[in-house]
Structure 1
Amino acid sequence: MRPPGSRPSVTVIGAGFGGIGTAIALRRAGYSDITVLEKGDSVGGVWRDNTYPGAACDVPSSLYSFSFAPNPRWPHRYSRQPEIRDYIEAVAREHGVLDLVRFGVEVATAAYDEDECRWHLTTTTGASLHTDVVVSAVGQLSRPAIPELPGREEFEGPAFHSADWDHDVDLTGKRVAVLGTGASAIQFVPEIAPVAGHVTVFQRSAPYVVPKPDREYTGLHRRAFERAPRSQRAGRLLTWVVTEKFNKALLQDTWMKKAVGLGWRGLLRTQVRDPELRRKLTPDHELGCKRVLFSNAWYPALTRDDVDLVTSPVSRVLPHGVLADDGTEHAADVVIYGTGFAATEFLAPMQVTGAGGADLQERWKSGAHAYLGLCVPDFPNFFVVYGPNTNLGGSSIVGMLEAAAGAVVTLLDRARTAGARSVAVRADVERTFDDEVQRRLRESVWAGCQSWYRGSDGRISTNWPGLVAEYQRRCAALDPADFVLA
């Protein structure tokens, strides 16, 4: 049994930005008994898994990085997947947490023992371990979603999800069917179109696509960032201000929203000359209701003679192609699913049992919810980083993750100082918070259409209804009266 006042053992699940950032925050606060469990073979999370052609971030690198670990040697303003994965590993190594990661370990169950005030974890291989505190940092975009289309298993060629790209499949000269036009598809379609024989893109809903002001950093840039770090910090601050205004534009009509709309319209008109194709590429929902995408290459890719855009829904998958609802058969040698992730199925398939036998998946069957996306009543010493209602429509999620990690440290420090062995949020506090969040979300642009932000019942369980600054303030000003120490 842990002596009162001692620092607890902490197990972090996931080694992406959230898990590595939390481990670093704990280590910097003096916690030494830290274990990070990672189901993959390296750190990076989504930036390890998503290796599709053209994979890159749509937030500038200066902001899409830890505030305490600036990287003056980013090759581009918007970093590519390999660069971000390498950055996460480098930061983990430099801050002494890379050696804390146990790779190839996937947690199957987590159960709280009230007598011991400890969590008992089992892995998918049947191994078990015990810990005082659990921090789940598995993220919202870690489980690819493939639609259950009729005939999907009957397709005779290669078929894979963009997040599980099969690099052994040579697309040269092949007829490729791409299902989906989300953030991944708009990056990989322009990359594969010049190689493939023909690409057929199936679009369920046209996204808003705006210009991406990317550029390659020169040696002069990198020398300036290294010798005058304030220049990079100034760029980060400016980017943060702009993205916060973009976040605000998703919550109310502002000049920024009008500017983004003009950017989309100008890009579409200048890059797509065919009126019929422009009509197909015009969204039927309000700007911001679904994720706004950034690309300079998406529209030109769709104007190629060897690329077709199909707006009729997919009826079924055939052994050698895809059948649309209008009865047209589209031949294909390869099918690529750019169909996103099961973002609203938080922590699944992990089974989590709290105090009194509380079942987290049962608790969340009508939509996930947690205080600050972080704490759930009846689940002492259990925290979720990048949890319910902490996603952003704009800006960098890293700022949210750092704030959440700081809150974890604050709560554990308070429990230790008080001689308590556990900390949990009060049920009435979490309920009041969720009521506030859902009320604000019902007034947001995200309530106006169906998207991956919402569950099948319409509840928005992914997005934060305010600015990043508000979330940071609330995480930094936790009221002790809102929590129960035991």
Structure 2
Amino acid sequence: MTAPDFQTAVIGAGPGGLAAAVKLKQAGLRDFVVLERADDVGGSWHENTYPGLGVDIPAIAYQYSFARKADWSRMFPYGAEVKEYHRDIANRFGLYPHIKFGTEVVREEWDDTHHYWKLITDSGAVITARFLISAVGAFVRPKEEAGIPGRTDYRGKYQRPSSWDHDWDHAGKRVAIIGTGASAVQIIPSIAPEVASLTVFQRTPVWSIPKPDFVMPEFGKRIMAVPGLQAAVHGFALVFVDLALRLAVGAPVGPTKKVLTRFDAITIKAYERYLRLVVDDSETRRKLTPNFGVIAKRPTMSNGYLRAYNRANVTLVTDPIETITARGIKTRTDGEREFDMIILATGYEVFSDPETYRPGTILGSNGFDLGKFYNEEGLQAYESVSVHGLPNRWTLVGPYSWTGSGWHAFVEMTADHAVRAITEGLRRGARVVEIRRDAMDAYHRKVYRRNEPVRFYFNELNGHVPTYYRNSQGDSTYLRPSGFYEAQRGNRKFPLDDYSYRTTA
């Protein structure tokens, strides 16, 4: 029988792909390849280089447990340093020889005859592997279509956070930015002092709280280098996150709904008072005031975003955009404004949306189509990682993934899940390792039941606000309704017999 090119293939060399590669090597599974569409490792931290790019959680929580870094230059590092951290991981663990750059997988097909995966790349090449780990990540691809008419009519310069052209000088130019999400919150205060004018087109306001950022002093770096200290501090913080999540999903639904409703009302009032302290103009403050809860959309942290609106050259527009024109942007009531550059900060297709999974692109056994399954039956996966119908395949960021931790901590545990299942399959001499349908269904019933308070929060209490925490099916598959440590146990100590192991199909 034909042997595959590799024992294991990993799709993506971002934080998840690097974690999977390290875990495979640590398990002694060295026959693997990492397929990466870009020309270096890091994922979003390689592709995104826009002005002001940085992490929005402390560095101590944004790193691997197996490669803690004590000498971060800041409490919240900038993007270039985070990218270099991932490059260092690839070098330190000898991953570069395993990586094929410039290789984008456009279709995954399970071969029922040979019991391996055929990965079709954008060049038409086919790479085969017995086992497959998808490490595509949470933000799968930038939204090419912003949903605004006339996008192709514009004759000025477009910029996107995911592909910033640093050769184009925006100094002294008339600039527009569409969107006020996480990337826009970083871009706006970074370029506002440099441009002639900056017009921000806002559909929905964003929560933006102060960022306790500072340059890390040398004595701080020495303290962080004390063996075990970073792990202890990070673990202590995760305990509080864990308790909050457990309380939110473990308490009786009725009282939880009342607490969430009251929590939103109090925090919205508090944010209104905060805005009065930092934003001078009352009309601008009104536009920046959210009418939804602090976690209904992804909250942001910035010391400069709100204050940027105090500048004379920064204007906030909430009048809906009617069309993009050849010279600029026309809104519904205010007419056309001309711009030299338009920044499309309109977001990504995310892993929790069924539309992200295109039918015909991930094909499993007996004609199983993941895109069709997710769009018809909703997103679901055993421990967020494996789906019945896709044998020998695991995804590191799947339905009901995020547990409130940094992504590195999460993809480590899901990588451990995949490697544990692969190792057990090899130990049993199995060619096919597949999660049992009854195990997946039982897990999904439990998760869906426990997710009721989360659905209430996003669908009812904050159903009026667009958010990627609620998908088009009305489900909140971004968040995992459990604590971090429960998720960790579930992925590292799942019952091995929840999988089936077959020597032949």
Query: 1: distance between equivalents of 2:237 and 2:472?
Result: 34
Instruction: Name the counterpart of 2:253.
Output: none
Amino acid across the alignment from 1:341: Y
C-alpha contact (below 8 Å) 2:401/2:478 kept by paired residues: yes
Instruction: Name the counterpart of 1:165.
Output: 164
Amino acid across the alignment from 2:279: V
* TM-score (normalizing by structure 1): 0.93
Query: 2: distance between equivalents of 1:28 and 1:485?
Result: 23
The match for 1:334 among 317, 333, 341 is 341
Query: 2: distance between equivalents of 1:240 and 1:294?
Result: 19
Shift of the 329–446 alpha-carbon distance from structure 1 to 2, 3 Å rule, reads: same
Query: 2: distance between equivalents of 1:359 and 1:72?
Result: 45
Cα deviation, 1:5-36, whole Å, max 9, x if unaligned, reads: xxx81000000000000110111011010100
C-alpha contact (below 8 Å) 2:245/2:481 kept by paired residues: no
1:460 aligns with 2:476: yes
Instruction: Name the counterpart of 1:478.
Output: 494
Instruction: Name the counterpart of 1:377.
Output: 388
Shift of the 433–74 alpha-carbon distance from structure 1 to 2, 3 Å rule, reads: same
Instruction: Name the counterpart of 1:150.
Output: 149
C-alpha contact (below 8 Å) 1:205/1:284 kept by paired residues: no
C-alpha contact (below 8 Å) 2:241/2:484 kept by paired residues: no
- How far 1:202 sits from its partner (Å)? 0.9
Instruction: Name the counterpart of 2:89.
Output: 91
Instruction: Name the counterpart of 1:232.
Output: 230
- How far 1:283 sits from its partner (Å)? 0.6
Amino acid across the alignment from 2:45: W
SS at match of 2:228: helix
Shift of the 231–266 alpha-carbon distance from structure 1 to 2, 3 Å rule, reads: farther
Figure out how many residues of one structure are paired with residues of the other and give that number.
Answer: 480
Instruction: Name the counterpart of 1:271.
Output: 278
- How far 1:2 sits from its partner (Å)? 9.0
Cα deviation, 1:310-350, whole Å, max 9, x if unaligned, reads: 11221111111111222432221111011110112445598
Please say which of residues 46-55 and 258-267 is displaced more in the overlay: 258-267
- How far 1:261 sits from its partner (Å)? 6.0
C-alpha contact (below 8 Å) 2:248/2:453 kept by paired residues: no
C-alpha contact (below 8 Å) 1:63/1:240 kept by paired residues: no
Shift of the 114–337 alpha-carbon distance from structure 1 to 2, 3 Å rule, reads: same
- How far 1:271 sits from its partner (Å)? 0.6
Task: Output aligned runs, 1:32-431, within 5 Å.
Answer: 32-145=30-143, 146-226=145-225, 228-244=226-242, 247=245, 253=259, 264-265=271-272, 267-343=274-350, 344=353, 345-346=355-356, 351-366=361-376, 367-392=378-403, 394-431=404-441
Amino acid across the alignment from 2:317: V
Query: 1: distance between equivalents of 2:242 and 2:263?
Result: 10
- How far 1:243 sits from its partner (Å)? 4.2
SS at match of 2:419: helix
- How far 1:193 sits from its partner (Å)? 0.5
C-alpha contact (below 8 Å) 2:359/2:370 kept by paired residues: no
Cα deviation, 1:54-97, whole Å, max 9, x if unaligned, reads: 11111111111001111011101111111111111111211122
Shift of the 481–249 alpha-carbon distance from structure 1 to 2, 3 Å rule, reads: closer
- How far 1:439 sits from its partner (Å)? 3.4
Please say which of residues 363-372 and 286-295 is displaced more in the overlay: 363-372
| Long gaps (5+) in structure 1 | none
| Long gaps (5+) in structure 2 | 250-255
Instruction: Name the counterpart of 1:446.
Output: 458
Report % sequence identity: 33
- How far 1:358 sits from its partner (Å)? 1.1
C-alpha contact (below 8 Å) 1:411/1:423 kept by paired residues: yes
SS at match of 1:77: coil
- How far 1:248 sits from its partner (Å)? 5.9
SS at match of 1:42: coil
C-alpha contact (below 8 Å) 2:359/2:371 kept by paired residues: no
Please say which of residues 275-284 and 34-43 is displaced more in the overlay: 275-284
Query: 2: distance between equivalents of 1:368 and 1:424?
Result: 18
SS at match of 1:142: strand
- How far 1:461 sits from its partner (Å)? 3.0
Query: 2: distance between equivalents of 1:134 and 1:127?
Result: 17
Amino acid across the alignment from 2:398: G
C-alpha contact (below 8 Å) 1:47/1:84 kept by paired residues: yes
- How far 1:190 sits from its partner (Å)? 0.3
Amino acid across the alignment from 1:446: F
SS at match of 1:365: helix
Amino acid across the alignment from 1:151: G
Please say which of residues 217-226 and 72-81 is displaced more in the overlay: 217-226
Query: 2: distance between equivalents of 1:295 and 1:451?
Result: 20
C-alpha contact (below 8 Å) 1:202/1:311 kept by paired residues: yes
- How far 1:240 sits from its partner (Å)? 2.8
C-alpha contact (below 8 Å) 2:27/2:419 kept by paired residues: yes
* TM-score (normalizing by structure 2): 0.89
Shift of the 248–482 alpha-carbon distance from structure 1 to 2, 3 Å rule, reads: closer
- How far 1:242 sits from its partner (Å)? 4.6
